[in-house]
Amino acid sequence: MDEIIKRLDREHVYKGAIIDVYRDKVLIPGGKEEYFDFIGHKGAAAVVPVLPDGRIVMVRQYRNALDRFTIEIPAGGLDHVGEPYIDAAKRELREETGYSCDDLEPLITVNTTVAFCNEIIPIFVAFIKGERKEQELDDDEFVNVEYFTIDELMDKIYKMEITDSKTIASLMAYKNKYVK
């Protein structure tokens, strides 16, 4: 695989609220040109919130793309390109759950769909010490806060009740790193 792969052109096809869609012309090995779809995303951040008793704070919310409710870790997009990921994680934790934590620890980073999207999500762990306050949801957010042990969450993953990739990866990483 020593031959060069080179993007020759990128055409902006659609500008959405959280994504941009492009059509890329790419020179592939053998000298052939191919077209690929590319989705540009400004990035996001997520957090695994852990209460003093070890339970993990999760959010249940409706996801239009799946037409169903999902159980996920709190997460959300950057407010602007260049926003520090840790600031976005703190904001999403506060907005979606009502909990705050100033001292987040990096856990893992995931690229959600490497075949056609550049979305990157650094994921942090928040060891919650304070009391829960009111959620600060956006007008289009409907989020319920729920609490689970790590074993309950692992069971939900293997029963395919949790299918969100960032949530699965972060919970498994959390368990591997912090649960003995």
Q: Are strands 56-63 and 68-72 parallel, antiparallel or unpaired?
A: antiparallel
Mean pLDDT of 58-66: 95
Q: Please give the full DSSP string across 85-144, using - where no structure is assigned.
A: HHHHHHHHHHHHHS---S-EEEEEEEES-TTTB--EEEEEEEE--S--------TT--EE
The dihedrals phi and psi of 139, each to the nearest 5 degrees, come to: -60, -30
Q: Which CATH architecture fits 42-178?
A: Alpha-Beta Complex (3.90)
Q: Average pLDDT of 17-40?
A: 95
pLDDT digits 0-9 by tens, 128-167? 999 999 998 878 788 999 999 999 999 999 999 999 999 9
Domain ranges of the chain: 6-40, 42-178
